[in-house]
Amino acid sequence: MSTPTLTAVLGDITTQRVDAVVNAANTAMRGGGGVDGAIHRAGGPAILADCIRRFPHGLATGDAGWTTGGDLPARWVIQVVGPNYAGGQRDRALLASCYRRALEVADELHAASIAFPLISAGVYAWPKTDAVDAAVTTLRATPTHVRDVRIVAFDAATHRMVEDRLARKEQPRTMDR
Ligand code: AR6
């Protein structure tokens, strides 16, 4: 176990050439909008079929599990369910748990590289600065065998926020909610 290289990437997570991409799903685990929709579209029906087979009762908020990557360049999708800030789920530990559990699942799969979206920062409306901070802080603090960990931002402004946060070592949490 050691500390992986953590990098910021600007782009579409579905095109990342990594062993596993992380999906910001919901507890039903049957697809949705945002990055979830993009991953199911790009990966094809094998992902939904695997969700139904492997997660007949869905997945709990804060937890992670894996499915095939289907037609994606990535071999696996690590499905996580972030807290729905807009819906009143504001326990930051649940957000941190998504990142930690995803790395645990990646270790079970012996994945060497993984790409994360900014979990809960879209439809679920977690405040962006704090979502970036939770991602960087948790990924830095979690021991793993994964060597290459990427945070993929979908727009330039968010990418800059992740880069700025990565450039700083450790800081107190931002309280912007
Ligand atoms: N590549 C990288 N990042 C992306 C992409 C992409 N292709 N598409 C969106 N993002 P969201 P959530 C960014 O809404 O907030 C779904 O309906 C986006 O800009 O995908 O956890 C699920 O089914 C944002 O920064 O996930 C759930 O019901 C981040 O990914 C719910 O939305 C997360 O935004 C989950 O909401």
Exposure letters 149-166 (e unless 16+ CB within 10 A, then b): bbbbbbeeebbebbbebb
List pocket residues of ligand 1, CB cut-off 6 Å.
12-14, 24-26, 32-36, 38, 82, 117-124, 152, 154, 158
Ligand 1 atom nearest to 81, measured from its CA = 21
Ligand 1 atom nearest to 82, measured from its CA = 21
* Rounded Cα distance, 140 and 59, in Å: 25
* Rounded Cα distance, 49 and 70, in Å: 10
CATH 3.40.220.10 holds for 5-167: yes
Ligand 1 atom nearest to 155, measured from its CA = 19
Is residue 36 flagged as an active site residue?
A: yes
Q: Where are the domains of the chain?
A: 5-167
Residue nearest to atom 5 of ligand 1 (CA): 35
123, 132, 165: residue to mutate for ligand 1 pocket, most atoms within 8 A of CB? 123
Q: What is the pLDDT along the chain (177 residues), one digit of tens a residue?
A: 777 899 999 999 999 999 999 999 999 999 999 999 999 999 999 999 999 999 999 999 999 999 999 999 999 999 999 999 999 999 999 999 999 999 999 999 999 999 999 999 999 999 999 999 999 999 999 999 999 999 999 999 999 999 999 999 765 555 554
**125 C-alpha to center of ligand 1: Å?**
10
Residue nearest to atom 8 of ligand 1 (CA): 35
Residue nearest to atom 33 of ligand 1 (CA): 122
Instruction: Transcribe 15-53 into DSSP letters.
Output: G--SSEEEEEE-TT-S--SHHHHHHHHHH-HHHHHHHHH
